[in-house]
Amino acid sequence: MIINLSEENAEERAPVRYVDVSEDEAGQRIDNWLMARLKGLPRSRVYRLIRRGEVRVNKGRVQQTYRIQAGDIVRIPPVRLDAPGPADKPSEATRDFLMARIVFEDRQLIVLDKPAGMAVHGGSGLSFGVIEALRAARRDCPYLELVHRLDRETSGCLLIAKRRSYLRGLHQALRDNDMEKRYLALVRGQWDRGRIRLEHRLAVDRDGGAERIVRVDREGKRAVSHVRPVELTGVASLVEVRLETGRTHQIRVQMAAEGHPLAGDDRYGDPDFNRRLRAKGLKRMFLHAHSLSFADPKTGDPRSFSAPLPADLRAALDRLGPS
């Protein structure tokens, strides 16, 4: 359905809904839960509804990070839903392209090597993302949900759960920092510090909506990363970053704070450095989620998945030459 974003006289157009949270839904963030019920509504609008207190849980205000519990009663405010209209859908070529990037699948899980340039979900002006395209391609799977997210320009390992119980188990692993995520990043300058543990406190600002700007702030949330050098070139260094916490834009902000911004990062990076790298053929941010490891929520067995460095990033790195 197409959502009319006009807020005037909303109470007259649609009734308030009160929804009981089931056992299967418990553990989800309130913003994600709402997105599933207000399909097509931009995430920025959902955030605004929560901030204004139009969304209530058990008659009280909550933050967008609140995780709903079984038995919670959620107030969903009036949102006008117009008649269906034309909408972009993932093409057959797009669906086939994503299917070819599945690196592992079983009854519980899909592991996808996400391409750069494709958002993980629709919204904010995007008709569809990875999850919508996969749902269109896999009509045989009645349940497909993102386990976590990657920035639009970040490539690499992305987990999609095929069972609600498996999703809950993986979300618990994320909350407990029991899922190991490793990224490859190209950063400015020579990384001569060897293996190092970085700890900062990061705060998120929103520029009038869903656009997020993260900054180092002593009042922010603790962010910890472990960095080691992999390959040095004349002007940049390829490093592996293992996340101990999972804050928004964590790697990008921490590396910039340490004087080694990511190549191709238009938000936190160095414009002059980015121009030099574009001349070498780098067309996007150099950040790749190359491996994920965790204990299987059902069996406890170790599971590990990886995605190789994409050809475009490898080619740009090779053009820089050795240190």
Contacts 24+ apart (CB under 8 A), 123-131: 123/35, 123/40, 123/41, 123/42, 123/43, 123/210, 124/42, 124/43, 124/44, 124/210, 125/42, 127/87, 127/88, 127/89, 128/88, 128/89, 128/90, 130/98, 130/158, 131/160
285 vs 156: CA distance, rounded Å: 13
| CB-CB neighbours of 278 under 10 Å | 14
Position 280: which residue type? K
55 vs 33: CA distance, rounded Å: 12
Position 39: which residue type? K
What token pair was written down for 16?
């308030």
Query: Which of 31, 72, 113, 151 does the annotation list as catalytic?
Result: 151
Task: Mark whether 151 is an active-site residue.
Answer: yes
What token pair was written down for 173?
């692993």
| Residue 250: partners with Cβ closer than 8 Å, 6 or more residues away | 202, 214, 223, 225, 243
125 vs 282: CA distance, rounded Å: 26
| Residue 179: partners with Cβ closer than 8 Å, 6 or more residues away | 170, 173, 292, 293, 294
Tokens 């999703």 sit on residue:
167
192 vs 97: CA distance, rounded Å: 39
**Catalytic positions:** 151
